[in-house]
Structure formats: structure tokens, C-alpha cells
Structure 1
Amino acid sequence: MAEQQERKSDLISCFEYLATEARDLYLSEKVPVIDKAPSALTFHRRWVTSNRPVIIKNAVTKWPALEIWNLNYLRETLKQKMVSVAVTPNGLADAVVENQFVLPEEKQMKFCDFVACLENQEENRGIYYIQKQNSNLTLEFPELLEDVAGEIPWASEAFDKKPDAVNLWIGSKESVSSMHKDHFENLYVVITGVKHFILHPPTDQPFIPYEMYPVASYKETYPGEFKVEPNETGDKVKWIPVDPLKPDLGKWPLYGKARPIHCSLHPGEMLYLPSMWYHHVRQGEGTIAVNYWYDMEFDIKFNYFQFVEKLLSTVNDDR
């Protein structure tokens, strides 16, 4: 037991060195901001290859959406159109709740009714959020594509591919995306409102708890009343239980060694969120955003990430 504890301590010290070196060598305490869209070469060389986030201002100045999109415009444009909406009692979709990984209830409803639910949030009690991540902008809302762009040209050139998905997000301040990471290069644009991000680089991986949880889903049994239904297949999902806004360091003490990076994204601003970066997202009231997912390259960075994950699995720690 003593030998195992010593090995664990040595390994954690190595992980701390890794995270500290990353912060000292190429990361910063704040997300850098640049004033205009970069060339494909500059974007790839300065940000993609170093796996660093950046906020880009004036990257989408020609989008009509920046001038015309708001809830009233979208309601008038989409009217009776049936759309997919995630519904939860607490705004936590795809999150660990009471030791289960709970998915939202997905409802089909008229867009005008969705907007009415947003505008009368307290009355309806359930939290409604358009957040289906299957390229819903291109599949469900093709009539809105003329107001934005089907791709980010300089990013497509840098990644040498088209985006795998273009997603539309519309929600209220109650909707929260719990901490997670994606195997995508993410370009996130706010149209109206504000998005608040808490970020962790991949080098914070050893300090972020990941555990297996049984899958369940919310089910609205009566307006404003929900129950949690376990998945009948017995499937489990590996997910992050810690809430970075109020982390329980008694339960996950190693998270105290991580260094979160905070940033906010305002209308017309774009965040490049590199693949494998952990992120937790909140938003302001009536926020509308679009993001572009480009499939990541499963290269040496991914190999190193998997290597660290394997090292972690060899140690019986209670992260």
C-alpha cells in the first residue's frame, strides 16, 4: 500500500510538472484576442498546431444574421415549423445528476411555441433549449443558411476539409453545458446574447475527474414536473461530474490543481476552441449562436492524450 501511494504521488508530481510547463511555455491565463480573421496559414501555424484557443473579432462582419437575428425575427421566419427541442427541469442537459448521466427529453414542437416557452420561462417551468448537435442548422433550419455561412473558408483551408457539422444554439440563461471535451476543432460564433466559457487545456486532464455513470433521461410527466427514467439497456457513459463553478474539492481534491481559463463571447465574436479542450458553457438570456465542428486529426497530440489516460488508469487514485 505504501509503495502504491508513493507511486501515485510521484505520478501526480509528474502531471503537475506537465501542466506547469504547458502554462509557462505556450499557454496564457487569458484567451488571446485578435482583431480580424487570420489567413489559413496564420491560423494553422499560430493556433491549430499549438492547440491554443483564440477569440477572433470581426471574423463574420458580413453575416446578415448579426443585423437581423433575434427571437422575433426567427419566430416570424420559422413560424409553425416543427423543430427539435431539449427539455429539462434544471437546464442541465447531458450532465451528471444524482449519480446518473441524464439526457434531456427531446420534444418536437412548433418554433413559435418554443419561443413562447423561452419568453415565459418561469410560467412554463421546464427549461427549453435548441441544442441538437447533428448539424441541425443545415438539416432543420436550411432557410436560415443565407444569413450565416455554410463554412468558415479560411478554417476549411487550414483543416483541409469541410465542417462535419454546423449547429444552431438558442436558449436562456438557465441552460448550461456541463464540463466535457470534443473530438472536434470548434469555431463558435455568438449572434445575440453572450456565452461564458470555462476552459481547461488537455494538460489538465490528470486533475479532471472522469467516472462511469448509468444513462437515464428526463421525462416530463406533467407541465413542469419531471421524472428520471433509467436507460433500459443498462448502458453507461464516461463523464465529468465536477461543477467548475462550485467544485467539491473534498470529493475531487486533484481538481484543485487544475487552472481554469475563463472567457466570454459577445455578438460577432468567434472562439476557436481546439480539440480535446475541456469546456463548460453558460449563456445570457435569449442567446443565439452557431458553431462549426471540423473533425480533429488523430495525430501525435491524440496519442499523448491517450497515453496520459492510460497512465491514470494504472493508478488507483480517487480523483
Structure 2
Amino acid sequence: MAASTRDTGPEELLNPAPRGKIRDALLKLSVEAKELYLNSRVPVLGAVPSPLQFHRQWVAANQPVVVRGVTQEWPALAKWSPAYLRDKLGHKEVTVTVTPNGLADAPHAGYFVMPEERRMRFGAFLDVLENPESQPGVFYVQKQNSNFTDEFSEILCDAASEIPWFSEALGKKPDAVNFWMGDERAVTSMHKDHYENIYCVISGCKDFILLPPTDAPWIPYSSYAPAVYEETHPGKFDIKPTGGNEVPWISIDPLEPDLERYPQYKHASPVKCRVKAGEALYLPSLWYHHVRQSQGCVAVNFWYDMEYDVKFGYHKLLQALSWVREPG
């Protein structure tokens, strides 16, 4: 995960489980959010709306939505088979992340562990995807930092460097365009980004668990020493501490939440969403998300910097209140 997207949480007090009058007020906020604006499932639009309509209904409301037809004119939908990608990119060196367990940029064994990064021919990466038992570890193209325009320029013409109607809706150009392809075992741990994100699946599917910004009081963080995976011997990965400040990160697994340890999470409002080939998910800024995928799934996403307006100020206030312990 790019450093610029690194999730942040309160740095001084972790998992205090707010109580008293503040807790009551936060519970009221959650109830009203469910009643007034949250959906029990992510809506699906059958066609691309106008930029003005999209901004009014989804961006301004900070609401996720799946949109069909966003990529219908992209040659990538028909072309991007493993054979085609091997022909176009097989010789090229790209950045691939490797972990022993599919958990990159995630808490593990008391550390916040980042993946090992390797430069390898894309054809060799495809070999591993087609025969996962041939190499130890879970391989994933997920560098971000606009790796699509940087490392995959040979196939850029099959997709796009921006989505014009989405750029018009936001009034800006994307900060980064990212290419994703990997193993079904790869997991993106729950976090949030300070970006407006439109995530386009080209083949396979992505499974998201989404939680709104108003769930901030119920999502626990812990603090972890930073580290990185390193394959020290064939098939043996060690966790190497990197030093530096501890990383605050979400400490709960939304697939199997430990409610005995984190009872406040029962107040959260997670929704599940599957995004299939040819569909795009608008993932608003500050929404928490956890992601899994099908084997060999290919996707391209576009990050647009969020507006640091009153919405951001309210979210920072909500976070601060969420970590206050009242006396008594």
C-alpha cells in the first residue's frame, strides 16, 4: 500500500470503548445514520449517470454505489486474457508484492507488516498465478502510486488514464491510476483512504466489506511496530522490524469479528458488496473497507484527492470524541 494512503487512527489512546454521555450521543448518531441515509445494501446503477446527477446523489452524500457501463468501451474487457497480457507485458519487469499468507499492510504477530517487494518479469508473475504451488508465498501486483500509468503503459490504451465523467463530477483529475492482479488468497485489511475512489473490475470479481465514516466510534485500533516480510530461505518468510514510529491500524477482522474483545463493534453497520467484471464501485472517501478477490482478478482503480472541507472536519471531531474516556 502506498504511504500516502496509509490509514491513520488516534495515536495516544487505543480501544477505550467510549462510555457515558459521549457514548450515548455516538450511539444516537449511529441510529440516526442507519435511519436517515445508510443503505442495507450497496445500490446498483444500470447505466452511467450525468456528472451533475452523480455528484448530487452520490459524491455529496458520501454514499457508495456500483455503476454498470463505466468500462463498456474499454478494449480491456475483451482483450485482457492471461495470454494477451503475457504477449504485451511478459518480458517487462514490474513490481510484485509477496507475503507468506496474503496479508500485506496488515497487523500480524504483533507487527504492522508490509509485503516484500520484488522486481520480476510479468510473465514469471503470470506463471506463479497459473501454478501457485510453483513458488512459496502469495504474489500480488498492488504497488499503487499510479503503477498503471508508470509500469503498465503498454496496455494503457486498452483502458483509460481517467474517467472523464467522473473527473467532471469531482472537478479534478485523478491523483493515481492503479493496476491490480493477484492471488485469491490476497487480502486487503480494513482501512480507509482520503480519496474518492472508483474501482473498475476487468475480470473476475472483488468482494468488499464497507463501513461508513459514522462507524468510527465502533472500529477498534491498536498500535503496531512497523515491519516487513523477507524470504530468508526458500519458503521461509521472516518478519523484519524496520524501526520508526508505531503504526495505528484497525485491529479487528470484519470477516470474523471478535466481539468479546471488541464489543463496541456490534454497533457498526457493515455491508457486503461484490463487484463483477464490467462493473465499477464508487468508494467514497473515509469509508472503511476490507477486500478479497477471485483468483487472477484484474482491476484498475482511480484515486481522486478528497475535499478537506467541513465533512473532513466533522470526521476528525467524531474520531476525537470516539477516543475520550469520561470520568466515573
User: Quick check: TM above 0.5?
Assistant: yes
Q: Give 1:27's aligned amino acid.
A: L
Distance 1:247 1:99 in 2: 17
Distance 1:147 1:235 in 2: 41
TM-score of the superposition, structure 1-length normalised? 0.95
Aligned partner of 1:142 in structure 2 is 153
Q: Does 1:284 pair with 2:302?
A: no
TM-score of the superposition, structure 2-length normalised? 0.92
Q: Does 1:306 pair with 2:319?
A: no
Distance 1:138 1:315 in 2: 46
Distance 1:248 1:27 in 2: 24
Q: Give 1:167's aligned amino acid.
A: N
Q: Give, in angstroms, the shift of residue 7 of structure 1.
A: 7.7
1:148-297 equivalent positions in 2, closer than 5 A: 148-231=159-242, 233-297=243-307
Q: Does 1:53 pair with 2:64?
A: yes
Q: Give 1:253's aligned amino acid.
A: P
In the alignment, structure 2 segments of 5+ residues that lack a partner are 1-15
Aligned partner of 1:20 in structure 2 is 31
Of the structure 1 ranges 292-301 and 221-230, higher mean CA displacement relative to structure 2 is found in 221-230
1:60-79 equivalent positions in 2, closer than 5 A: 60-79=71-90
The higher-RCO structure (CA 8 Å, 6+ apart) is 2
Partner SS, residue 63 of structure 1? coil
CA 1:6 to 1:264, structure 2 compared with 1: closer, same or farther past 3 Å? closer
Q: Give 2:190's aligned amino acid.
A: M
How many residues matched? 312
Distance 1:316 1:213 in 2: 26
CA contact (8 A) 2:18 2:322 kept: no
Distance 1:290 1:34 in 2: 19
CA 1:149 to 1:169, structure 2 compared with 1: closer, same or farther past 3 Å? same
1:1-37 CA distance string (max 9 Å, x none): xxxx998232222112111111111111000111111
Distance 1:98 1:58 in 2: 42
Of the structure 1 ranges 215-224 and 293-302, higher mean CA displacement relative to structure 2 is found in 215-224
CA 1:177 to 1:34, structure 2 compared with 1: closer, same or farther past 3 Å? same
- The runs of at least 4 aligned residues of structure 1 exceeding 3 Å deviation read none
1:157-198 CA distance string (max 9 Å, x none): 111110000000000110000000000000000000000000
Distance 2:325 2:225 in 1: 23
1:79-99 CA distance string (max 9 Å, x none): 110000010000000000012
1:231-277 CA distance string (max 9 Å, x none): 1x332111111110111111111111112100000000000000000
How much is the aligned-residue C-alpha RMSD, in angstroms? 1.5
CA 1:7 to 1:184, structure 2 compared with 1: closer, same or farther past 3 Å? closer
In the alignment, structure 1 segments of 5+ residues that lack a partner are none
Distance 1:63 1:303 in 2: 38
CA contact (8 A) 2:17 2:264 kept: no
CA contact (8 A) 2:17 2:323 kept: no
CA contact (8 A) 1:219 1:226 kept: yes
Q: Does 1:30 pair with 2:41?
A: yes
CA contact (8 A) 2:18 2:323 kept: no
